[in-house]
Chain A
Amino acid sequence: GAVVSQHPSWVICKSGTSVKIECRSLDFQATTMFWYRQFPKQSLMLMATSNEGSKATYEQGVEKDKFLINHASLTLSTLTVTSAHPEDSSFYICSARGLASLSYEQYFGPGTRLTVT
Chain B
Amino acid sequence: AQKITQTQPGMFVQEKEAVTLDCTYDTSDPSYGLFWYKQPSSGEMIFLIYQGSYDQQNATEGRYSLNFQKARKSANLVISASQLGDSAMYFCAMRDRNNDMRFGAGTRLTVKP
| A residues lining the B interface (CB < 8 Å) | 1, 32, 34, 38, 42-46, 49, 91, 93, 95, 97, 103-104, 106, 108, 110-111, 113
Q: A91-B43, A104-B35, A111-B43 are in contact. Are A49 and B52 (CB under 8 A)?
A: no
Which residues of A lie under 8 Å from residue B45 when comparing CB positions? 44, 93, 95, 108
Interface of A is mostly: strand
Indicate which residue in A43, A97, A110, A111 contacts B105 across the interface (CB closer than 8 Å): A43
Instruction: Select which of B33, B52, B103 is within 8 A of A44 by beta carbon.
Output: B103
| B43-82 to A contact mask, C-beta < 8 Å, 1/0 | 1110100101000000000000000000000000000000
Interface contact A104-B100, CB-CB below 8 Å: no
Q: Which residue of B lies closest to A102 (CB)?
A: B50
